[in-house]
Amino acid sequence: MHATTYLADYRPFPFALERVSLRFRLAPEATRVQAELHLTPREAGAALVLDGEELKLIALAIDGADLKPADYLLTETGLTIHPAALPEGAFTLTTEVEIAPALNTALEGLYMSNGMYCTQCEAEGFRKITFYPDRPDVMARFHVRIESDLPVLLSNGNPVAQGAGFAEWDDPWPKPAYLFALVAGDLVATSGSFTTMSGREVALNIWVRPGDEDRCGFALGALQRSMGWDERTYGREYDLHIFNIVAVDDFNMGAMENKGLNIFNSKLVLASPETATDLDYERIEAVIAHEYFHNWTGNRITCRDWFQLCLKEGLTVFRDQSFTADMRLGAVKRIEDVITLRGRQFREDAGPLSHPPRPDHYREINNFYTATVYEKGAEVVGMLKTLVGPEGYRAALDLYFARHDGQACTIEDWIKVFEDSSGRDLTQFKRWYTDAGTPHLKVAERFENGTYTLDFTQETAATPGQAEKPARLIPIAVGLLGPNGDEVVPTQVLEMTEARQSFTFEGLGARPVPSILRGFSAPVVLERETSPAEQAFLLAHDSDPFNRWEAGRALALSTLCAMAQGGAPGGEYLDAVGRLIADETAEPAFRALCLRLPGEDEVAQALASAGAVPDPDAIHAARRKLMETLANRHEAALAATYAACAVPGPYTPDAAPSGLRSLRLACLAPLSAIDGGARAQALFDSATNMTESLGALNQLIALGKAEGPLASFRARWENNRLVMDKWFMAQAALTPPAAAVARAEALAADPLFDWKNPNRFRSLLGGLSANHAGFHRADGAGYRFYADWLIRLDPMNPQTAARMSTAFETWARYDTARQALMRGELTRIAAQPGLSRDLSEMTARLLG
């Protein structure tokens, strides 16, 4: 069994590695990789320990002389050259290995996708390519020569030579091996350029398989917008003559920021109005931005070790969220991000996988690319910005780039930059990085003689391995509203540093209504005794759009929780929604968010966190019932809005028309609950874009009236992989719960279910786990089906199997029968012979 790695064990690499020269002779089952490493010892007498996995060693020499068997030790995980075999000064190590990219189904290292060679090296994939110190604090300049008959040969940096059957690339910027990339294939480019703020012209290319080139325009524009934004907002300019993006169909993750050669899952590049939804467009723009922004936050300044992952990921997610907020509607983007944070990170933090944004141990680092590292990591950056203000934030980032360019850094370096630039002591704030768990913030209020007091307490439940939870610094943005809805105290940021702390506001004429945690100023659960009337008041009057939405959300959530436990929908919620549907002064995208009901998983989480045991069927029924009640109560307004939001003219993915479409679909959901699917069927028949086509299909599937539309959709799109992923996903996720597992089984038997393709696998299995009541079927059929497929995928692609095992992370929420069924499946998975390190770490942690 693979050992645990601890943060406390970090030691610098005892050699300097300044330059690397690689030569690839590509062949599907016998690629030869020659590597030349220019090394200088930094500690006398140290052995040279190189990582290497699944490599066939062909040749090994130092300064041109072959090593003898006694000079080194070759194991399953690497190559150790004994100190006695090493020169005292600088030397050159040359190795040659053979690898088989065509047999690489794990999609890590060098692999093949549709006849194309490509790489994925983060976090520890480079060791499957050659023997190397595969750790992010070893930064070297790379020269790469690729030999192959394929027409397009790409690597990092700038092209320096090419001819018949070869190309050479040189990357002037020192980088860790995880940022290495190589692509070879029959590819076509959509090209453009960007002139940087200092006037340098950069060639931009989006490379795809022939036939896909008509769906690259949006990605290219998104790249240009990202480059401009990073110059304007952070003063950061691109630093090579060329920037390449390649789309591949087989990819474990979303995308990867390799220096000068980003590699993308094709679903995050290819878009046309007929094949991609508004959400796809928004996501493509955000991910292109994210990977581009890594050029400074990740590549120029990288991580010392993988424990520091949120140094690059949390910051870069924060940057891409800010970018999208600037490109579209900022308030809407913030609400969407908080919905995701709660749905993924709060869920993770409430279960057995809870860990801090900077963990201190792991077995398989791939298992730590989590919602906590990414999304909570981004929230922590946002809180720092709130604490030091926008100018203070920019000053801190300027100092970060000035001080650490070219280095591999830690969270301590990052915090120090904020301390030095702001003069603040951030010792307590650092707990956000090192402590796990979501703080619960309770607030009570008092009003006496014109003085209003908010009494806060904070508490964080114990998490695996962390019992003690000292108080954190929580920035709480607060505003106060008067009885007529006017703002009597504008937003101010209270800094809570104690476990219990009070804040007073003086000189008020009447008892105010507080708007607390505006903009979601900290990733906490706010608990406050409030009335539906007060929530309806905030939904009508709050000047902070986030808290306006939040008031309606809380109302919807408490209504659903009550209904799932046998109650009836409260009048306040229904009235408040009625006012919103017709409120033409609010942005359509905002109204759409307010109309959309919380998902079933969110309701289950709310019930569990209130100490109840969620019943998935009751939650499902409550949500359908509320939809129907809403529609009956407001049919006229919903129908009028539905009709009014039809977008005339040709499709564009811009914020305004996509906001209208999203409001239109938000009206369609309740209407479909009472019109028998008539509108959805009409929309499906007339739709000319994927947003509306899929939006209509989703409603029909939920009604069990989609057989005809599903057949015609399939007939039209069966040759388009990305669209067929949607076809699989929609059915798995939305088929009514009683039929969901049977439907998933039928889909798994479909000849188009290519389970080795991660996108297709995720569509079906991820769809099923998103079908809350279907997955959690009382007889355990959902759990069994899901576990069977994880067991099947694991030997093929352990990384994806392990990531998907998080469907079971909520087992402790449910009744004892379901708990036993889920734990039974996890135990069955854990007992599989030859289980991967990835999945065995996950089952062990999930079982607790």
Which residues are identified as catalytic?
A: 291
Q: Is 838 in the site for ligand BES (CB under 6 A)?
A: no
Q: Is 291 in the site for ligand BES (CB under 6 A)?
A: yes
Q: How far is the CB of 396 from Zn ion (least distance, A)?
A: 20
> What's the gap between Cα 769 and its chain centre?
17
User: Binding residue for ligand BES (CB under 6 A) from 17, 24, 31, 122?
Assistant: 122
- Of 315 and 665, which has the nearer Cβ to ligand BES? 315
Q: Both tokens of residue 455?
A: 């009494």
- Of 148 and 324, which has the nearer Cβ to Zn ion? 324
User: Binding residue for ligand BES (CB under 6 A) from 209, 290, 334, 721?
Assistant: 290
Q: Is 287 in the site for ligand BES (CB under 6 A)?
A: yes
Q: Both tokens of residue 21?
A: 């020269």
Quick check: 357 and 373 in contact, CB under 8 A?
Answer: yes
> How many other C-beta atoms are found inside a 10 Å radius of the C-beta of residue 834?
7
- Of 762 and 818, which has the nearer Cβ to ligand BES? 762
Q: Both tokens of residue 649?
A: 């003219």
Instruction: Give the total residue count for the chain.
Output: 848
Q: Is 248 in the site for ligand BES (CB under 6 A)?
A: no
User: Binding residue for ligand BES (CB under 6 A) from 145, 294, 344, 623?
Assistant: 294
Q: Both tokens of residue 172?
A: 């002037």
User: Binding residue for ligand BES (CB under 6 A) from 22, 179, 227, 256?
Assistant: 256
Given Zn ion, ligand BES, none, residue 369, with its beta carbon under 5 to 8 Å by kind, binds ligand BES
Given Zn ion, ligand BES, none, residue 572, with its beta carbon under 5 to 8 Å by kind, binds none
Q: How far is the CB of 122 from ligand BES (least distance, A)?
A: 4
Largest CA distance in the chain: 89
Strand order in the sheet with 31-41: 65-66, 56-62, 91-99, 31-41, 15-25, 140-147, 166-175, 158-163
Q: How far is the CB of 266 from ligand BES (least distance, A)?
A: 13
Q: How far is the CB of 256 from ligand BES (least distance, A)?
A: 5
User: Binding residue for ligand BES (CB under 6 A) from 96, 171, 257, 542?
Assistant: 257
Given Zn ion, ligand BES, none, residue 342, with its beta carbon under 5 to 8 Å by kind, binds none
Q: How far is the CB of 814 from Zn ion (least distance, A)?
A: 33
Q: How far is the CB of 374 from ligand BES (least distance, A)?
A: 6
User: CA dist 546 to 279, 362, 594, Å?
Assistant: 20, 36, 10
The interface with ligand BES within residues 316-335 (CB under 6 A) comprises 317, 320
- Of 47 and 365, which has the nearer Cβ to ligand BES? 365
- Of 313 and 435, which has the nearer Cβ to ligand BES? 313
Separation of alpha carbons 132 and 306, rounded Å: 17
Separation of alpha carbons 806 and 801, rounded Å: 9
Q: How far is the CB of 426 from ligand BES (least distance, A)?
A: 25
Separation of alpha carbons 816 and 823, rounded Å: 10
- Across-strand partners of 194? 202
Given Zn ion, ligand BES, none, residue 123, with its beta carbon under 5 to 8 Å by kind, binds ligand BES
Separation of alpha carbons 318 and 34, rounded Å: 39
- Of 295 and 641, which has the nearer Cβ to ligand BES? 295
Using Cβ positions, the residue closest to ligand BES within the complex turns out to be: 254
- Of 316 and 836, which has the nearer Cβ to Zn ion? 316
* Cβ burial, residue 648 (10 Å; 0-12/13-18/19+): exposed
Residues sharing a CB contact under 8 Å with residue 161, sequence separation 6 or more, in sequence order: 167, 168
Which stretch, 252-260, 379-387, 490-498, 691-699, contacts ligand BES (CB under 6 A)?
252-260
Radius of gyration of the chain (CA): 28
Q: Is 631 in the site for ligand BES (CB under 6 A)?
A: no
Residues sharing a CB contact under 8 Å with residue 219, sequence separation 6 or more, in sequence order: 190, 206, 245, 269, 270, 271, 284, 288
Quick check: 432 and 460 in contact, CB under 8 A?
Answer: no
- Of 126 and 369, which has the nearer Cβ to ligand BES? 369
Quick check: 808 and 819 in contact, CB under 8 A?
Answer: no
User: CA dist 445 to 217, 329, 440, 477, 512, Å?
Assistant: 54, 33, 17, 16, 10
- State phi, psi for 627 to the nearest 5 degrees: -60, -45
- Of 286 and 480, which has the nearer Cβ to Zn ion? 286
Given Zn ion, ligand BES, none, residue 577, with its beta carbon under 5 to 8 Å by kind, binds none
Q: How far is the CB of 257 from ligand BES (least distance, A)?
A: 5
Quick check: 519 and 333 in contact, CB under 8 A?
Answer: no
Q: Is 181 in the site for ligand BES (CB under 6 A)?
A: no
Given Zn ion, ligand BES, none, residue 691, with its beta carbon under 5 to 8 Å by kind, binds none
Q: Is 369 in the site for ligand BES (CB under 6 A)?
A: yes
Separation of alpha carbons 697 and 668, rounded Å: 11
User: Binding residue for ligand BES (CB under 6 A) from 254, 343, 482, 570?
Assistant: 254
* Cβ burial, residue 752 (10 Å; 0-12/13-18/19+): middle
Q: How far is the CB of 323 from ligand BES (least distance, A)?
A: 11
- Of 309 and 740, which has the nearer Cβ to Zn ion? 309
User: Binding residue for ligand BES (CB under 6 A) from 247, 253, 315, 665?
Assistant: 253
Q: Is 804 in the site for ligand BES (CB under 6 A)?
A: no
Which stretch, 247-255, 507-515, 522-530, 685-693, contacts ligand BES (CB under 6 A)?
247-255
User: CA dist 637 to 110, 634, 643, Å?
Assistant: 56, 5, 10
- Of 156 and 689, which has the nearer Cβ to ligand BES? 156
Q: Is 255 in the site for ligand BES (CB under 6 A)?
A: yes
Residues in the site for Zn ion, rule: CB under 5 A? 313, 316
- Of 168 and 171, which has the nearer Cβ to ligand BES? 171
Which stretch, 42-50, 97-105, 312-320, 405-413, contacts ligand BES (CB under 6 A)?
312-320
Residues sharing a CB contact under 8 Å with residue 187, sequence separation 6 or more, in sequence order: 116, 151, 152, 207, 208, 209, 210, 246
Q: Both tokens of residue 389?
A: 């203000």
How big is the site for ligand BES, counted in residues (CB under 6 A)?
17
Which stretch, 253-261, 385-393, 509-517, 579-587, contacts ligand BES (CB under 6 A)?
253-261
String of DSSP letters for 680-730: HHHHHHH--SHHHHHHHHHHHHHHT--HHHHHHHHHHHTT-HHHHHHHHHH
Q: Which of 369, 417, 427, 425 is nearest to 395 (CA)?
A: 417
Given ligand BES, Zn ion, none, residue 255, with its beta carbon under 5 to 8 Å by kind, binds ligand BES
Q: How far is the CB of 211 from Zn ion (least distance, A)?
A: 29
Separation of alpha carbons 294 and 302, rounded Å: 9
Q: What angle do helix axes 721-734 and 737-748 make, rounded to 10 degrees?
A: 150
Separation of alpha carbons 325 and 677, rounded Å: 35
User: Binding residue for ligand BES (CB under 6 A) from 124, 282, 285, 313?
Assistant: 313
Given ligand BES, Zn ion, none, residue 253, with its beta carbon under 5 to 8 Å by kind, binds ligand BES
- Of 255 and 454, which has the nearer Cβ to Zn ion? 255
Given Zn ion, ligand BES, none, residue 256, with its beta carbon under 5 to 8 Å by kind, binds ligand BES
Which stretch, 86-94, 313-321, 699-707, 824-832, contacts ligand BES (CB under 6 A)?
313-321
Q: How far is the CB of 518 from ligand BES (least distance, A)?
A: 26
Residues in contact with ligand BES by the rule CB under 6 A? 122-123, 253-257, 287, 290-291, 294, 313, 317, 320, 366, 369, 374
